[in-house]
Amino acid sequence: MAGQTVTRAQLTEAVYQEVGLSRNESAELVESVIAEIAGALERGEMVKISSFGSFAVRQKGQRVGRNPKTGQEVPISPRRVLVFRASHALKHQINNGLAETPPRATATRPVPARAATAKASPG
């Protein structure tokens, strides 16, 4: 699934399949959830979705940037940016999904026998 994008239509279809609402009701539900999240972020509120993550809006101050082509300094105006922080549950789910793929071969160093037995023998 790498390189693919999930669209509103696909979310609507998933709701239709899983919940059993009509396609129109599923589309309205998806639109309603997206609109509520966007509205809360517009108002500057943080949106936390349990076991998924949190969305927040941060204020960035004015700074001086540089045109990479000409080297000329250009002021960058203050702006608000959207940030997303994934929950530990989502990170764990993503990493477990990656663990199902065959692991790459890694070189391991053998532990010297003396070091292993030195810890086991009493002082």
Query: What is the pLDDT of the chain when averaged over all its residues?
Result: 85
- Six token digits for residue 122: 């009493």
HSE, side-chain direction, 13 A CA sphere, residue 98:
7
Q: Which DSSP string corresponds to 51-96?
A: TTEEEEEEEE--EEEE-TTT--EEEE--EEEEEEEE-HHHHHHHHH
Asked whether residue 106 carries a pLDDT value surpassing 80, the answer given is no
Hey, how many other C-beta atoms are within 10 angstroms of the C-beta on 12?
20
| pTM (predicted TM-score) | 0.66
Digit-coded pLDDT (tens) for 44-76: 999 999 999 999 999 999 999 999 999 999 999
